[in-house]
Chain A
């Protein structure tokens, strides 16, 4: 009998560890995918660009694609803004100007808005995914589009998360009239269709990534706020909150230290789904032609 129970214990033990193992493999896989997307977004000009990564021209070395990558990083890039970027001449011209020149190109040696000779090419060794109706390389546009999508998804959800967590926590914690006002406000905001609101805002302040991010952020926080409110209401009556009050903790302290940690889990999950929704919304807008996501992202950068 004792042997049987021992065996049973073993099975239970093994099963639970294998579930834990599987979960950690899944987690690792998810991290790898997410990091790949971020990697592609941040390093887009090193993967697909119309300028080489390293080149030597007329006796000097230069790194135009690297410079352009750094230039597009929000804070760091502003230091490089002043100097006019080096431009490597086209293949035919450089041979006649400087026979000693050489260059290492990105894997896809085309920019996202650069026009090729031929439109509507099917996939070939030069253009892995072919070219579109205006003769632009599709894979290059895909890589640079990732950068826009990630920016829209992350920034708009950071904004939505900040609003949602504050409104939800205040509504849930203080209850009563405050809760009523916040909840009605949440319901009113939920009624705004983000898609059409963006169209209106675009007409008002003009096209641009900032407008899209702001509108998505200011409309998509409601589900986060509702989740946080529910968690805070549940936790507010818990014994450990009364215990914290009994040793002299203030309302702010109880809310931030005791209630928000428990409420952040559901909020973060809602935010990750929100990132996907925001990307889809942005892609929809771009497809309808309300704004030209990839082209607009390079306004100012690639006027040359």
Chain B
């Protein structure tokens, strides 16, 4: 029993502690979390509770001054021994980033280079991952744009980042992260800068690669409705540690942690505000 579970586990974080340079307290305090293959886990928490720090620690993108202890193990079906990410050398890390784990950032427009056209940015990612010629990379870029639901990829490929809407930019961010066909996608607040309609589309786009590519997702959000819509499991962070780890349905019934209650109430309340505003206009 434990053996099969072990083989299912994709990523195992144990007692992870992160303290930024000259900070008084830990930003992450003994965080443990495991993600199975093809599982969608939502990490729910207020801003400043350490969600993004956890994501950056997993990708080893923390600033130089940060002190990290604990372990992050990435398991591969073929590898006998898991890869320990906290002590991995920089050149081997580049093989993990993008190919095994990829990250989708919070502000889609700012994570695109403003001085390069969309096409060349996607081609560049494809050329980092696979050894293809420029013309083939362009073809693959067009395919990857179609896959994230862009109807006129030939036009978008020639566009500059500032010409895109937020939702469009986030789709391109998704196309870039999916280019390496990662086992785990870390999505850091992928919807927080988008309107309701674009939000729903991005959630739908996150569901699709899970089915087709067997990808696991770690969704970082403060929005209960998004977590509920996408996740198999919801972890709640509060005060720099994980306080709840359950399936989303259990949050209705159980006596849950006050932080989780507060987040769920907050998103319900926002819903109510939206409805009353609608009434006023009418």
Chain A residues within 8 Å of B, Cβ to Cβ: 238-240, 242-250, 253, 257-258, 261-262
Considering the complex, give the chain B residue whose CB is closest to the CB of A254. B113
Considering the complex, give the chain A residue whose CB is closest to the CB of B97. A248
CB atoms of A240 and B113 under 8 A apart: yes
Q: How many residues of B contact A (CB 8 A)?
A: 28
List the A side residues contacting B107 at CB < 8 Å: 239
Interface hit among B17-25, B81-89, B98-106, B143-151: B98-106
Would you mind naming 9 contact pairs between A and B with Cβ atoms under 8 Å apart? A239-B107, A240-B110, A240-B112, A242-B111, A243-B112, A246-B98, A248-B98, A257-B116, A262-B113
Q: Which of A246, A253, A257, A258 sits near B59, CB closer than 8 Å?
A: A246
List the A side residues contacting B177 at CB < 8 Å: 246-247
List the A side residues contacting B97 at CB < 8 Å: 245-248
CB atoms of A248 and B129 under 8 A apart: yes
Considering the complex, give the chain A residue whose CB is closest to the CB of B126. A247
User: What is the minimal beta-carbon distance from B137 to any residue of chain A, in angstroms?
Assistant: 13
Considering the complex, give the chain A residue whose CB is closest to the CB of B96. A248
List the A side residues contacting B274 at CB < 8 Å: none
List the B side residues contacting A257 at CB < 8 Å: 116, 124
CB atoms of A247 and B176 under 8 A apart: yes
Judged by a CB distance under 8 angstroms, whether B180 is at the interface is yes
List the A side residues contacting B110 at CB < 8 Å: 238-240
List the A side residues contacting B96 at CB < 8 Å: 248
Judged by a CB distance under 8 angstroms, whether B243 is at the interface is no
Contact A248 B128, CB 8 Å, known A239-B111, A240-B111, A258-B113 = yes
A253 to B124, CA, bound (A): 10
List which B103-123 residues lie within 8 A (CB) of chain A.
103, 105, 107, 110-116
A244 to B127, CA, bound (A): 13
Considering the complex, give the chain B residue whose CB is closest to the CB of A257. B124
List the B side residues contacting A253 at CB < 8 Å: 128
Additional A-B contact list (14), CB under 8 Å, known A238-B110, A246-B102: A239-B111, A240-B114, A243-B176, A244-B113, A246-B61, A246-B98, A246-B177, A247-B180, A248-B98, A248-B129, A248-B180, A253-B128, A258-B113, A258-B116
Considering the complex, give the chain B residue whose CB is closest to the CB of A250. B94
A245 to B111, CA, bound (A): 11
Among A239, A243, A261, the one with the most B-chain Cβ atoms within 10 Å of its Cβ is A243
List the B side residues contacting A262 at CB < 8 Å: 113-115
List the B side residues contacting A250 at CB < 8 Å: 94
List the A side residues contacting B124 at CB < 8 Å: 249, 257
CB atoms of A247 and B116 under 8 A apart: no
Judged by a CB distance under 8 angstroms, whether B125 is at the interface is yes
List which B166-195 residues lie within 8 A (CB) of chain A.
173, 176-177, 179-180
CB atoms of B98 and A247 under 8 A apart: yes
List the A side residues contacting B179 at CB < 8 Å: 247
CB atoms of A243 and B94 under 8 A apart: no
Chain B residues within 8 Å of A, Cβ to Cβ: 59, 61, 94-99, 102-103, 105, 107, 110-116, 124-125, 128-129, 173, 176-177, 179-180
A261 to B113, CA, bound (A): 10
User: What is the minimal beta-carbon distance from A172 to any residue of chain B, in angstroms?
Assistant: 16
Contact A243 B98, CB 8 Å, known A248-B128, A249-B128, A253-B128 = no
A3 to B42, CA, bound (A): 51
Q: Which of B94, B112, B115 sits near A248, CB closer than 8 Å?
A: B94
A257 to B116, CA, bound (A): 9
User: What is the minimal beta-carbon distance from B101 to any residue of chain A, in angstroms?
Assistant: 8
A248 to B177, CA, bound (A): 10
List the A side residues contacting B94 at CB < 8 Å: 248-250
A262 to B102, CA, bound (A): 25
A257 to B99, CA, bound (A): 20
A239 to B105, CA, bound (A): 8
Among A242, A248, A262, the one with the most B-chain Cβ atoms within 10 Å of its Cβ is A248
Considering the complex, give the chain B residue whose CB is closest to the CB of A251. B90
Considering the complex, give the chain B residue whose CB is closest to the CB of A247. B98
Contact A242 B61, CB 8 Å, known A249-B128, A253-B128 = yes
A96 to B77, CA, bound (A): 98
User: What is the minimal beta-carbon distance from A279 to any residue of chain B, in angstroms?
Assistant: 31
A262 to B173, CA, bound (A): 20
List the A side residues contacting B103 at CB < 8 Å: 243, 246
CB atoms of A247 and B113 under 8 A apart: no
Considering the complex, give the chain A residue whose CB is closest to the CB of B101. A246
User: What is the minimal beta-carbon distance from A260 to any residue of chain B, in angstroms?
Assistant: 10
A262 to B129, CA, bound (A): 24
Among A239, A246, A248, A253, the one with the most B-chain Cβ atoms within 10 Å of its Cβ is A246
A178 to B163, CA, bound (A): 37
Per CB-CB distance, the 10 closest pairs between chain A and chain B, nearest first, are A248-B98, A247-B98, A243-B111, A239-B110, A248-B97, A246-B103, A240-B113, A248-B94, A239-B111, A261-B115
User: What is the minimal beta-carbon distance from B161 to any residue of chain A, in angstroms?
Assistant: 9
CB atoms of A242 and B98 under 8 A apart: no
CB atoms of A247 and B115 under 8 A apart: no
CB atoms of B99 and A243 under 8 A apart: no
Contact A247 B105, CB 8 Å, known A240-B110, A261-B116 = no
